[in-house]
Amino acid sequence: MTSPGSHMDTGVLLVGAGPTGLLLACELALAGVRTVVIDKRPKPHRESRALNLHPRSIELMDMRGLAGRFLAAGRTVPGWQFAVSLKRPLDFTALDTRHPYALLLAQARTEALLAQRSRELGVEIRRGHEAVALRQYAEGVETDVYGPDGCVTIRSAYVVGCDGGRSLVRQAAGIGFPGTRESMTAVVGDFAVADHAHNEQARRHGVLVARLEAGLTRYVVMDPQRIRVPSTEPVTLEEFRTSLMRVCGSDCGIGEPRWLSRFGNTTRLAAAYRRGRVLLAGDAAHIHFPVGAQGLNTGLQDAMNLGWKLAATVRGWAPPGLLDTYHAERHPVGHAVTTATRAQTLLVELPLTEQYAGPARHLCELLDTLLDMEDVNRHLAGRISALDTTYPPTTPDADPLTGRRMPDLGLTTAAGPTRVYELLHDGRFVLLRLDGGQHPRAATAPASSGRVRGVSVLGHGDHPDLKNVSEILIRPDGHIAWATRTTEPRVLHAGRAAALTAWTTWTGAC
Ligand SMILES: Cc1cc2nc3c(=O)[nH]c(=O)nc-3n(C[C@H](O)[C@H](O)[C@H](O)COP(=O)(O)OP(=O)(O)OC[C@H]3O[C@@H](n4cnc5c(N)ncnc54)[C@H](O)[C@@H]3O)c2cc1C
């Protein structure tokens, strides 16, 4: 066996150019890490599994100056279904965000926009290249990649498996993927439909109907007589039409499909998101039934959490243990999503079964009444939108804001008006001094370095959670690393210095 030695072909090799791999590539490139993405498919997907971005994902795009591109490409809707068997949707309009909606955007468009951004940032995407094996050494990873010129070995400091549910990277790293097997399936089809008169009727009978771009309409059908057919069995147009007729009494005028597929509720979560120099993100780490539309969104949030940590590690300034916080923070989120989607899937499945149809319908009616209650709706909308995702604090005496998502406050600074998410565009930490300069001795020069942008705020929009907060350190992924309410200069200095050292190992003037 040879050792990879000091020569690396690239800092990070990302296996998989799906949405997770592409956003992670953007994050690494933004932080100055040489990144290569490989994908076994010679061309990007044309068909789109996912249909939407939830509010937190749109916020992530906003933090990198990309929200405009995404919003221009899709269509916003005020909420989303917790489960298609419920009549009352989740209401995103009441959420505390500048983006209180879901963005209907086909996965292929999301991937195209992220691929465009990665190319702008200098990422190399090699399509038609399949990872077939990998070996870890102390200094790096060797990945065997089969491409148009045969098999080559790529040496990198780290490899991230963004290669979907059947992840070769996960298997090669020996990471388990425990969970539950498929017990039900549904069929999905995209069609050019001229007459939409039957769509409402279809929706009333539990068919998911969504108008896509380019004149296509998506139908997702769960036919009680076909939900036990394994996902490996191909769908025919005839089966699809028959199922639509059976479920809603109309074939909705569907013609030749652009795409037909069958998918199931296999639910699995990787035992670890990191093993040595190999990490997992997106579907490679978690798979579940697409109820609530959370798979792609969770993958984007994994990428945003991992990007800056991996970049800091590769560039050599990460504090000890930073990379391990990726598993510590994102594995519980994966656990919560896979657990919740199993429960949500039952709400879809039980009304379709002979044994439980009656009581399950009552349960759905009951849940609809609960969803009419503002607090209940807000609670579930906060979870599904991922706006309520909070990471555990790293110290016992941390301010309660620590780990929470930073709201996009409007700010007045000496340089003019701005907002928090604009300050995050270049992917650095942001240190905000919010006391309006009332304590000049406390923070004469907020820290600014390659890792941290320091900003003195003269005024900011009121936010109930930020009352009395005098200073706040925001991570590149928009979560709060540290906050303080003290205005006592010596305590403030000491707290700030400790937080900057702990998070960025930066010990410059602050
Ligand atoms: C019917 C359906 C509807 C869905 N709807 C939604 C929705 O509305 N919202 C939502 O958030 N999610 C939805 N999802 C889930 C969503 O599609 C996935 O979660 C998402 O695609 C995961 O992205 P990813 O980048 O992690 O993995 P993938 O999109 O699976 O990308 C993995 C990439 O890796 C490549 N690859 C695999 N193996 C190798 C290898 N050995 N070498 C090189 N390349 C490799 C593949 O070619 C692929 O391009 C839906 C899923 C289904 C099935």
Residue 67 CA to ligand 1 center (angstroms) comes to 21
Q: Which atom of ligand 1 is nearest to the CA of 298?
A: 11
- Which one, of 508, 138, 506, 472, lies nearest residue 322 by Cα? 506
- Which one, of 446, 502, 161, 157, lies nearest residue 318 by Cα? 502
Residue 89 CA to ligand 1 center (angstroms) comes to 25
Residue 182 CA to ligand 1 center (angstroms) comes to 17
Residue closest via CA to ligand 1's atom 6 equals 50
Average pLDDT over residues 284-296: 96
For ligand 1, is residue 57 a contact (CB within 6 Å)? Answer: no
For ligand 1, is residue 16 a contact (CB within 6 Å)? Answer: yes
Residue 38, amino acid: I
Residue closest via CA to ligand 1's atom 5 equals 50
Q: Which atom of ligand 1 is nearest to the CA of 295?
A: 19
For ligand 1, is residue 38 a contact (CB within 6 Å)? Answer: yes
What does the pLDDT read at residue 214? 75
Average pLDDT value over all residues in the chain: 93
CATH number of 410-504: 3.40.30.120
DSSP letters for 421-435 = HHHTTT--EEEEE-S
What does the pLDDT read at residue 198? 85
Residue 234 CA to ligand 1 center (angstroms) comes to 19
Q: Let me know: does 35 contact 11? Beta carbons within 8 Å.
A: yes
Q: Which atom of ligand 1 is nearest to the CA of 163?
A: 34
Among residues of the chain, what percentage have pLDDT more than 90? 85
Q: Which atom of ligand 1 is nearest to the CA of 261?
A: 1
Average pLDDT over residues 457-483: 93
Instruction: Give tens-digit pLDDT for 426-456.
Output: 999 999 998 765 544 444 446 777 899 999 9
In sequence order, the 6+-apart residues with CB closer than 8 A to the CB of 318 are: 309, 312, 505
Residue 18 CA to ligand 1 center (angstroms) comes to 6
Q: Is the pLDDT of residue 146 over 60?
A: yes
Of residues 137 and 447, the one with the higher pLDDT is 137
C-alpha span between 207 and 227 (Å, rounded): 14
Residue 419 CA to ligand 1 center (angstroms) comes to 33
Cross-strand bridge partners of residue 429? 452
Instruction: Give tens-digit pLDDT for 10-48.
Output: 899 999 999 999 999 999 999 999 999 999 999 998 888
What does the pLDDT read at residue 437? 54
Residue 421 to residues 25, 255, 377, 411, 481, Cα–Cα distance (Å): 20, 45, 26, 10, 15
For ligand 1, is residue 52 a contact (CB within 6 Å)? Answer: yes
For ligand 1, is residue 162 a contact (CB within 6 Å)? Answer: yes
CATH number of 185-263: 3.30.70.2450
209 confidence band (pLDDT: 50, 70, 90): very high
Instruction: Give tens-digit pLDDT for 100-119.
Output: 999 999 999 999 999 999 99
- Which one, of 135, 73, 82, lies nearest residue 110 by Cα? 73
Q: Is the pLDDT of residue 334 over 80?
A: yes
What does the pLDDT read at residue 509? 57
C-alpha span between 148 and 143 (Å, rounded): 16
Instruction: Give tens-digit pLDDT for 322-332.
Output: 999 999 999 99
Residue 7 to residues 15, 97, 137, 212, 255, Cα–Cα distance (Å): 20, 45, 13, 47, 55
What does the pLDDT read at residue 510? 52
For ligand 1, is residue 185 a contact (CB within 6 Å)? Answer: no
Instruction: Name the architecture of domain 10-181+267-385.
Output: 3-Layer(bba) Sandwich (3.50)
Domain boundaries, the chain: 10-181+267-385, 185-263, 410-504
What does the pLDDT read at residue 4? 40
Q: Is the pLDDT of residue 350 over 60?
A: yes
Residue 389 CA to ligand 1 center (angstroms) comes to 22
Cross-strand bridge partners of residue 39? 127
Residue 302 CA to ligand 1 center (angstroms) comes to 14
For ligand 1, is residue 296 a contact (CB within 6 Å)? Answer: yes
What does the pLDDT read at residue 429? 97
Identify the weakest region by mean pLDDT among 122-126, 250-254, 461-465, 488-492: 461-465
What does the pLDDT read at residue 501? 93
For ligand 1, is residue 111 a contact (CB within 6 Å)? Answer: no
Q: Which atom of ligand 1 is nearest to the CA of 38?
A: 43
Residue to probe by mutation, ligand 1, list 26, 40, 81, 104, most atoms within 8 Å of CB? 40
Residue closest via CA to ligand 1's atom 13 equals 50
For ligand 1, is residue 472 a contact (CB within 6 Å)? Answer: no
Residue closest via CA to ligand 1's atom 41 equals 131
- Which one, of 306, 287, 283, lies nearest residue 12 by Cα? 306
